[in-house]
Structure 1
Amino acid sequence: MNILNFLFVAGIILSFVAYFYYKTKQFRSTLPIRKKWYTAKAGTALGIFMIFFGLNVTIIYPTFVGYAVAVVFVIIGVGMAVNNYKRTRHEGQFVEEEYRLNQ
């Protein structure tokens, strides 16, 4: 159980760092499609953060309430991650084109 907890905490930290990185890139970007693209990437990282957090709750609090909280976090996290991943793929098609047009 201890190694699994370590892996979930590492996933939480890495996904939070990715979220912070993409949010910073979003604020610094000047092109509108690129801003939306970074927003979607940050949303994907936030969804993954919620999934890892929900899974970690099951290890820390192995009670009914802990499992209920974990299920809520995992369901919301999967929804956010999938939705934002689809947005990332869609908007990623236009990022290079927007960059070429605005040079």
Structure 2
Amino acid sequence: MMFFNFFFLTLIILSFVAYFYFKTKQFRATLPIRKKWYKAQSGVALGCFLISFGCNAGVVHPTLVGYGIGAIFVIFGFMYAFSQFKRVRHEGRFVKEEYELNK
């Protein structure tokens, strides 16, 4: 039980750091497609944060309410991470092309 709590806490921290890393990269980018790409990458990290937070809620509070709240976070996290992952794949194709055009 303690191992899972530590594991999910580590995932929460790593996804939170990744979210702020990509948000910072988004604000510093000058090209519009690259900004959208970094925004989508930060969205994937935010979705991973929601998933790991929901799983941790089920581990910390093993009651019906804890499992319900955890399930809601996991479902919304999967939906958000999946939609943002599709955007990352779509816009990733145009990042190199945009960079070459704007040299």
What's the TM-score bracket when you normalise by the shorter of the two chains? over 0.9
Instruction: Name 1:29's counterpart in structure 2.
Output: 29
**Residue 48 (structure 2) pairs with residue 48 (structure 1):** yes
Query: What is the TM-score when the length of structure 2 is the normalising length?
Result: 0.99
Partner-residue secondary structure (3-state), 2:30:
coil
Q: Distance between the aligned counterparts of 1:4 and 1:66, measured in 2?
A: 15
Query: What is the TM-score when the length of structure 1 is the normalising length?
Result: 0.99
Unaligned runs of 5+ in 2: none
What per-residue deviation string (whole Å, max 9, x for no partner) do you get for residues 16-54 of structure 1? 000000000000101000000000000000000000000
Q: Distance between the aligned counterparts of 1:12 and 1:30, measured in 2?
A: 29
Q: Distance between the aligned counterparts of 1:59 and 1:50, measured in 2?
A: 14
Instruction: Name 2:91's counterpart in structure 1.
Output: 91
- 1:64 is displaced (CA, Å) by 1.1
Q: Distance between the aligned counterparts of 2:61 and 2:30, measured in 1?
A: 44
1:56-95 map, 5 Å: 56-95=56-95
Letter of the 1:2 partner, please give it.
M
Percent sequence identity over aligned pairs: 60
What per-residue deviation string (whole Å, max 9, x for no partner) do you get for residues 60-85 of structure 1? 11111111100110000000111000
Q: Number of matched residues?
A: 103
Q: Over aligned residue pairs, what C-alpha RMSD do you find?
A: 0.5
Partner-residue secondary structure (3-state), 2:41:
helix
Runs of 4+ displaced beyond 6 Å: none
Instruction: Name 1:15's counterpart in structure 2.
Output: 15
Q: Distance between the aligned counterparts of 2:53 and 2:59, measured in 1?
A: 10
Q: Distance between the aligned counterparts of 1:86 and 1:62, measured in 2?
A: 33
Partner-residue secondary structure (3-state), 1:30:
coil
